[in-house]
Amino acid sequence: MGGSPRGEDPEAGPPGGGADGDDGEVEVGAGDGDGHPLGRALRNRYVRIGLIAVAVAGSAGVALDVGQISLGGGRKADSPATDGPAPVPAPTPAPAPPTTHEFVTAGWCATYANTECWAPIKGANPQCEGVEMQNECMVEALNDFGQVSMGYMASRIFDPFPPADDQASRETTCSDGPMCPSGGRTNIWSTPGKCPVTAPKKYITLGGDGLGTCGEALEAEVLTGLVNAQDANGVDLDLEGCMECINTWQGTATNAKSAGLAVQITPFGSAADDGVLIPWLLNNPDKWDTVALMLYGASMVGNGWEVCCCSPTEAPTAAAPCGKTYSHIKKWLDSGVPKHKILLGVTVVGLERYMVDFFADIVYTHKLGGMSYWKASSAPAMNLMPSYGASPAPECPPAGQVCAA
């Protein structure tokens, strides 16, 4: 440090000295121009101005250019090193790294079958035939998902568990979380434990069709307890059952965020028209993280839902969409809700490959958050998992339903 940029002696003048051979230094005084003392004194001289030495060209004028001193008519001489530390130039900002959009494939699982059909009889095994296989949250196929929402999803529950021989079940409440037996599927009568879900992001599903009735919003302490019991990240509010009422789900979302929990809102896709949900999402971006649209009823088709081919020969694509279900999706795309926070929800019931490809194409084209599956554990074996960025087949499959006129 402190040396000349080219290894020159910082005390030496320009090579060869001045034009007249005079290597003397000149004090800078007042005046400029050819007729003034400063102009005459500086021409063809090696000049010291303070601590900065510059070479002066033979010119009549004197010009000062801040940062690089220029004396004379237009030629800027290189500034030799100073006696003190060299000025540090402002760093050039590094180019921003390219942003990559990540898509998530999410799913919902239910533990409902563990108690839905139990009717304990003294001295007898109360479980229904095959009930040990019906806890979806214990199926290894969920390992294919990047996000899983776990819910109890039963209308009744044994509390405490396991039940005594003469214990009656009670109605499920909104604060009943998922319940997986610690003994695994081979010992469902063991005490409750953590569900063996390995997804990077896990939610506790609250609400659901026919599950509980609306009441007060769940408090932060209750929500934190449910989440911690499963090592989850947050809550998934299914806006049905006990989460159907506006004050309940909005208050629960607010309380969850106050506790530092992630919040997913799960409404029907048709809720874009209710005049409540979208304005709330837009006005409260700090109270939710994602919104997963249920774009189905009991099946992918029926009850107002229609994922279909645009003609007998044309499958739907993001570039050429069609169908009643897409009309609901379009409202969300145009709503102003951040697209990267929107997940398109499907059920494996009635789901066909071309429907998956259509939804995945919409997700990829519009950079949505991803897709979410009801009865998720069945999707991998049915070859119904999405491939974001793959071009969907343009032809309508032989079994594809054509959109109603």
Dist. CA 208–CA 237, nearest whole Å: 8
Place of tokens 């003469």: 166
Dist. CA 305–CA 303, nearest whole Å: 6
Place of tokens 């102009």: 39
The answer to whether 305 and 314 are in contact (CB under 8 A) is no
Dist. CA 114–CA 117, nearest whole Å: 7
The answer to whether 22 and 36 are in contact (CB under 8 A) is no
pLDDT at res. 167: 78
Dist. CA 80–CA 116, nearest whole Å: 87
| Residue among 263, 285, 193 at smallest CA distance from 231 | 193
pLDDT at res. 118: 53
Extract the residue ranges of the chain whose pLDDT is less than 70.
1-99, 112-134
Measured from the Cβ of residue 48, the count of other Cβ atoms closer than 10 Å reads: 14
| Residue among 53, 48, 43 at smallest CA distance from 20 | 43
The answer to whether 369 and 345 are in contact (CB under 8 A) is no
Domains of the chain and CATH, by start: 1-85 (no CATH), 104-378 (3.20.20.80)
Measured from the Cβ of residue 220, the count of other Cβ atoms closer than 10 Å reads: 17
Segment 107-159, tens digit of pLDDT: 999 986 555 455 444 544 555 555 444 688 988 999 999 999 999 988 888 88
Dist. CA 132–CA 118, nearest whole Å: 11
Dist. CA 33–CA 394, nearest whole Å: 79
Dist. CA 272–CA 144, nearest whole Å: 30
SS3 letters across the chain: CCCCCCCCCCCCCCCCCCCCCCCCEECCCCCCCCCCHHHHHHCCCEEEECCEEEECCCCCCCCCCCCCCCCCCCCCCCCCCCCCCCCCCCCCCCCCCCCCCCCEEEEEEECCHHHHCCCCCCCCCCCCCCHHHCCHHHCHHHHHCCEEEEECCCCEECCCCCCCCCCCCEECCCCCCCCEECCCCCCCCCCEECCCCCCCEEEEEEECCCCCCCCCCCCHHHHHHHHHHCCCCEEEEECCHHHCCHHHHHHHHHHHHHCCCEEEEECEHHHHHCCCHHHHHHHCHHHCCEEEEECCCCCCCECCECCCECECCECCCCCCCCCHHHHHHHHHHCCCCCHHHEEEEEECCCCCHHHHHHHHHHHHHHCCCEEEEECHHHCCCCCCCCCCCCCCCCCCCCCCCECCC
Task: Report the DSSP beta bridge partners of residue 234.
Answer: 203, 262
Reading the block at residue 338, the tokens are 């951040």
Dist. CA 333–CA 319, nearest whole Å: 14
